[in-house]
Structure 1
Amino acid sequence: MKVIRPQMELEIKRKADILVVGGGPAGIGAAISAARLGKKVLLLEKRGFLGGNITACYVENCNHFLKGTPFHSEGLYKEIEQKCYEIYGNDNIREKNKMAFHSEYLKIFLDKFMKENKVEVLLHSFVNEVITRRNQIEAVIIQTKQGPEAVSAEIIIDATGDGDVAFGAGLPFEQGREKDGMCQPGTVNFRVTGAHTEEMKGERLSEISNIFTKESKEGRTGLVCSKQDIPFGRLTKAGQISYVNYSCAHGIDPTDIEGLTRGEMECREYILEIYHYLKNQFHELRDIEITSIAPEIGFRDSRRIRGEYYLTIEDMESDRQFDDAIAVFPRFYDMLPPDGTSSGNGKVEGKGYDGHIFEPIVDERTFQVPYRALVPAGINNLLLAGRCISADHVAESGIRAISLCMMMGQAAGAAAVLAVQDRVKPADIDYKKLQEILRKQDISLP
């Protein structure tokens, strides 16, 4: 059976110089960057709050991998991290990452931050349709409880993570591994309270994590989920562990509602089993209870939109130098096994077909992200920011870092401003001007 969707004429009620779709780290970077350069910016977010995976999925410990290395946070990420810490503090008795975000306070901070920087925000605005004409996006359509609404802008920035705008415009993309299209698993984090903090001496949570990993690899946990590590978030004086990162659902298409439904339900089953395991195995956690489950399943990769340049893992491993570089980031890769296999040695050479990939920072090794990877091929007024940029699957395991997504957002926002000011397509901006703007925004470039 089929139905015919009636044609509908929509008045464009909202216009902006620059439209940013997606209020996660990349969208935040893009919106603030463009607004501070004097343009009218509208930010659309499908949820009821900003922050993306930090707030929706409890991924608070974003730049933990920089500790003990020569690297530090940069740009807007550094500014937000410092201001949040100064305003709200952090009731975290762990030494592992004192600057970890408190995701609930971050929601409030970002509301105020957008107002201070004159960014117009529309929450509960899911973009699921794009109107194009002659390689140009004329409007995006958001679904509201009062029906569809059309929004237009001179330049649109797709910071949805899943490349929803680019997909709606019919642009080519890749998803998952090259051979079978499998993506990394989806995860539903959760919070517990009731930990006996007076008994949690030193880095006891790290010790518990190590014990779990050892028992899991030896097949002694009796748990169904195949994940063999269990990162923990902040530990507060009140006995709250701000996130438990364990429950993973494999073999899911992050853009398919049937897969998403299965993943949410499956992960909640895994949450219950790991909760009982922790409660029964560790005396300090004997009285914990689940206080909240993340509002939605979080994914590490999905669509990657084809752009003017296709960033490869070989580019990153060789630290290829780009004339149009918009970010330099420490060499760090993190990919959970798409097929759930627990084999492999964690090396990048496995390319996601031989277990997980985990390559920590070594010395001062870096990689660069070129501006052209943010410019999609086929639409003249669209830019990409975040994990949906043009890159191969293994390269994405490095560029998906939250702080780097925000840096890419800053670059996209500044590039959009240059395109509007110079009346050129984003592909034709002067990238030397862009790099100068980014340096003034506290982004380190060659």
Structure 2
Amino acid sequence: MEIIRQQKEIEVFKTTDVLVVGGGPAGIGAAVAAARMGSSVILLEKRGYLGGNITACYVENANYFMAGTPFHSEGIYAEIEKGSKEKYGTDNIRECNPNAFNSEYLKVYLDEFLKDQGVELYFHAFVNETIVEDNKITAVVIQTKKGPLAIKAGVVIDATGDGDVAFGAGVPFEQGRDLDGLCQPGTVGLRFAGADVEMLSGSETDRLKEIGRDFKKRYRAGETGLKCRRQDLPFGRLTKGGQISYVNYACAYGIDPTDLSDVSRGEMECRQYIMEIYRYLKQNYEELRNIEIASIGPEIGFRDSRRIKGQYRLRIDDMRSGKMYDDVIAVYPGFYDMLAPDASMDGDGSLEGGGYEGHIYHPIEKDDSFQIPYRSLIPLNVKNLLTAGRCISADHVAESGIRAISACMLTGQAAGTAAALAVRSGADTDQVNIMELQECLRKQGVNIPYNQNSQNEKLQK
């Protein structure tokens, strides 16, 4: 393999207290929390807008699984959910998720919301390199049209989803399931226009759910003739104007989300699947006879990739048992959803020797919940780095619970608050006063319990 390394001087573009890399839910929560704690904050985003998978992949019905349960949105996520709806309204008429976002309105709202908090935003900023000296990140290098630029920060938060900053810093990571390293499939989102709203909303039941169930039955009977191996067909918003958003079908399997060739194949493959499901729905369901493709998601979205090794690896057994932690920074409903990397929908969804049989899905049961410890946000070997979102330290199945959009924002909110406390005190990220961090989060509207054994102000090694 031929290797070329060009040495060049890099301009220091900015210096800040807290640098957040990634403008999805985790990065938004981190940036807002740190700014409200009085830190100067820069947020870098690779796209031209904020919102992550909500806006790039049309995952607008983010908290649908909380409907009819004792759980509700909290913290900064609840604030955004309420504020965006109040300011820009909603055109969603599906009752199963009344709080679904309109992702186009949300893009505008998030611009305004973060600017109002004093967050300095930079779009189209791709992480190029992480510079580390004496186990501390001294700068993050981004690639721009004018060439590479360096940003220095007291604390860096990796909210990239793929753990790009931590990977660049040399932090060890896991990826995929234990059995074979395979990740869940990648999906390209889709919007239809022209659905018959009168027919879809005239039924006493949710007609889109019925169509999804009918499709699954036909697929399993071998009647569809479609190439995509996704066996079910969830739908998101239905608008007054006949638009169906978040058609969750086009899945590419066997993709490494960090591999250029794989991701390129996945993008093209998913667009072909979109065309086939479009034609199939038009031909087979009267309510969808006149649909047209309104838009195809601008990029493929992934459910998992790198999981950065941290001071505590959250396990699915921890979640199932309701394990409590002295350093809890978030409590989340006991919900997890892991699509089988091999597209199997059969089997009982159980763990067998580190592998999986079928689609592992666990809906919320009563008031079951799980806790996320702060240590899962602290990467190994780097003193001023935190992770947030789906790249925190967890096993593969546990990640399928923490990857939920509002869970990502909760871990981001905790990381941003902790980063601000670390900057204020001059401490490393693993020396933050835990009781102070928890009290700050409670004041921010986050449900942090007073665990029975929580007596230690600092983490026990």
Q: Same fold (TM over 0.5)?
A: yes
Distance in 1 between residues matched to 2:347 and 2:116, nearest whole Å: 48
Partners of 2:317 and 2:290 lie apart in 1 by 49
Matched AA of 2:113: F
Note the alpha carbon deviations across 1:247-297, whole angstroms, 9 max, x for none.
Answer: 100000000010000000001111011101100000111111111100000
- Which residue of the partner structure matches residue 85 of structure 2? 85
Secondary structure (helix, strand or coil) at the match of 1:334 reads strand
Distance across 1 between alignment mates of 2:429 and 2:136: 12
Deviation at 1:352, TM superposition (A): 5.5
CA contact (8 A) 1:226 1:342 kept: no
Partner SS for 1:268: helix
Letter in 1 for 2:88: Y
Q: Which range moved further: 8-17 or 54-63? A: 8-17
Using the TM superposition, give the Cα deviation of residue 312 of structure 1 relative to its aligned residue in structure 2, in angstroms.
0.7
Q: Does 1:337 align with 2:340?
A: yes
1:130 aligns with: 130
**Which is further off, 360-369 or 349-358?**
349-358
Measured in 2, the distance between the counterparts of 1:89 and 1:354 equals: 42
* Equivalent AA in structure 2 for residue 156 of structure 1: V
Corresponding residue of 1:43: 43
Cross-structure match for 1:321? 324
Aligned to 1:268: 271
The 8 Å contact of residues 186 and 302 in structure 2, kept in 1 or not, is answered as yes
Say if 1:3 and 1:360 are closer, same or farther in 2 by CA, change over 3 A: closer
2:167 alignment partner in structure 1? 167
Matching residue of 2:250: 247
Does the residue aligned with 2:399 lie in a helix, a strand or coil? helix
Give per-residue Cα distances to partners, 1:35-58, cap 9 Å, x unaligned.
Answer: 011110000000000000000000
* Separation in 1, partners of 2:2, 2:384: 34
Tell me the amino acid that sits aligned with residue 208 of structure 1.
I
Paired with 2:364 and 2:303, the residues of 1 have a C-alpha distance of 19
What whole-Å deviation, never above 9, does each CA across 1:372-411 have from its counterpart, x for those lacking one? 0000011111000000000100110111110010000000
Work out whether residues 192 and 245 of structure 2, in 8 Å CA contact, stay in contact via their aligned partners in 1. yes
Q: Is the 8 A contact 1:348 1:359 kept in 2?
A: no
Identical amino acids, percent of aligned pairs: 63
Report if the CA contact (8 A) 2:178-2:355 is conserved: no
Q: Is the 1:76–1:406 Cα contact (8 Å) retained in structure 2? A: yes
Deviation per CA, 1:316-345: give whole Å up to 9, x if none.
111111000000111001000011123213
Alignment of 1:10-409 (within 5 A): 10-200=10-200, 201-202=202-203, 203-347=206-350, 353-409=356-412
Inter-partner Cα distance in structure 2 for 1:25 and 1:333: 18
| TM-score, reference length from structure 1 | 0.98
Alpha-carbon distance in 1 for matches of 2:92, 2:24: 24
1:388 counterpart SS class: coil
Whether the 8 Å contact between 1:335 and 1:352 is mirrored in structure 2 is no
Q: CA deviation at 1:208?
A: 0.7
**Given residue 258 of structure 1, which amino acid in structure 2 is its aligned partner?**
S
Q: Is the 8 A contact 1:163 1:304 kept in 2?
A: yes
Distance in 2 separating the partners of 1:315 and 1:219: 39
Where structure 2 has 5 or more consecutive residues not aligned to the other structure, the ranges are 450-461
1:17–1:41 CA contact under 8 A, matched in 2: yes
Per-residue deviation at 1:351? 6.3
- Structure 1 window deviating more from structure 2 (344-353 vs 179-188): it is 344-353
Give 1:2 deviation, angstroms. 2.4
In the alignment, the residues of structure 2 paired with residue 3 and residue 435 of structure 1 have an alpha-carbon distance, to the nearest angstrom, of 47
Q: Is the 8 A contact 1:232 1:244 kept in 2?
A: yes
* 1:92 shift after superposition: 1.4
The 3-state SS of whatever aligns with 1:243 is coil
What TM-score do the two structures reach when normalised by structure 2? 0.95
Give unpaired runs (5+ residues) of structure 1. Answer: none
What's the C-alpha RMSD, in Å, of the aligned pairs? 1.2
User: Does the 8 Å contact 2:50/2:107 carry over to 1?
Assistant: yes
- Is 1:188–1:267's contact at 8 Å kept on the other side of the alignment? yes
| CA–CA separation in structure 1 for the residues paired with 2:129 and 2:77 | 30
